[in-house]
Amino acid sequence: SLWKEKLGWDEALPPNLVTAWKEITTNWTTAKITIPRKILTDISSKNVSSENDQINCHAKENPQMQPTRQLLLQPERFSSWQRLLRVVFYILLFMVKKSTKAKKHLGESKSALYEKTEMILFRQAQLQYPLTSALNKQLNLFSCTETNLWKSKGRVDKADLPTETITPVYLPRESHITSLYILHIHLTNNHCEINQTLTELRRRVWITKGRLATKRTLSKLYFHCKRYKARSFKLLEFPSHPAKRVNRPLYPFEKAGMDYTGPLPYKTDSNSTEKYWVLLLTYLNTRAIYLDIVVDMSAKMLLHILRRFFATTAHPRWIVCDNSKTFKAIVELIEKVIHVKDSQEISQKEMNHNAFLEG
């Protein structure tokens, strides 16, 4: 009833609930316990002695219990530097629009937010793989107070170069953020080689074992260049021409090759676009060819074209073609057509489907 009425803890009960509460409490059997407000004693009549006990406590630091900084996001979920940069940028943009403190710290312009975004990502890469004392001494690193980043101090501080080149940002090669940044530099410089990519990287960042890290990243994480640099299939050595192709024929197109070319578009009378193909019959002993247009690649259409060729040009005794379904479908039909035309040439006619070996 109290929950249904939605009463506060300091609100008075309505009359119906007061009556119900009294009926419940009258049937309770509770023990009455009185607690005094204070107890007065005479300490002079008591034997009280004080002792000084010293307890020595030793605390030992557990390295596994040290507080660690967690990453803002998982960079392994992203496949490109631009996507990762865009996600962090929109997070910062949301913070700037909702918080005045963030606006003072990060800035209002988008260019300033992009710089802060890159700085945050570089910092996350450094936090993910902390520095060792040996590496710090080897690279002569120092902590930049403005960006809170580890930077490398080289020996070109007197050169006429930008500040970001004189003191590049340190990036660990194990971080996925570093790999995404390497791919970004490689893409923005038109898929340049490893040396050129490393040169462009060192304009802003310093990666330990940079050449090895660049080579490993481009070979493992990026397959676009590998696909274009792959070698083509090595063709087999061309065999000698068969005797049927080099010996003198009895008549033109005695031995022929057959294949399709196309499709090619054309306009119909109703202004619609259709397709057509060209059937090519070539004379194997010379360069003579026979062309005919077909509107489809069916066996019926091919049979009509061949009957027209037999009637107007010649009867081939040997035809070379590939393993097309249309060519296979007319093997038995073409023998019947030739048998109707001339029965003496049936035994001399041969249809070969191994065009790669015979051609």
pLDDT score at 304: 84
pLDDT score at 347: 35
Is the pTM above the cut of 0.85?
no
DSSP-derived secondary structure letter, 174: T
Show the low-confidence residues of the chain (pLDDT under 50): 62-68, 340-344, 346-351, 353-357, 359
pLDDT digits (tens, 9 = 90+) for 266-315: 888 888 888 989 988 888 888 788 888 888 888 888 888 888 888 888 87
> In this structure, what are the phi and psi dihedrals at residue 105, rounded to the nearest 5 degrees?
-80, -40
pLDDT score at 15: 81
Residues 317, 326: Cα–Cα separation, whole Å: 19
**H-state helical runs in the chain:** 2-5, 15-26, 81-98, 100-106, 110-128, 133-139, 163-166, 176-188, 194-201, 210-220, 224-229, 243-246, 299-312, 325-329, 331-341, 355-358
Q: Does domain 251-358 have CATH number 3.30.420.10?
A: yes
What's the angle, vertex CA 127, arms to CA 102 and CA 99, rounded to 5?
10
pLDDT score at 33: 60
pLDDT score at 241: 77
pLDDT score at 288: 83
Cα-atom radius of gyration of the chain, to the nearest Å?
A: 45
Q: Hey, where are the domains in the chain?
A: 75-229, 251-358
Residues 220, 165: Cα–Cα separation, whole Å: 28
Residues 333, 307: Cα–Cα separation, whole Å: 11
pLDDT digits (tens, 9 = 90+) for 3-24: 777 777 777 778 888 888 787 7
What's the angle, vertex CA 184, arms to CA 181 and CA 187, rounded to 5?
155
pLDDT score at 181: 92
pLDDT score at 21: 78
State the first-to-last Cα distance of the chain, in angstroms, to the nearest integer.
97
Asked whether 128 and 172 are in contact (CB, 8 A), the reply is yes
Provide the mean pLDDT of the chain.
77
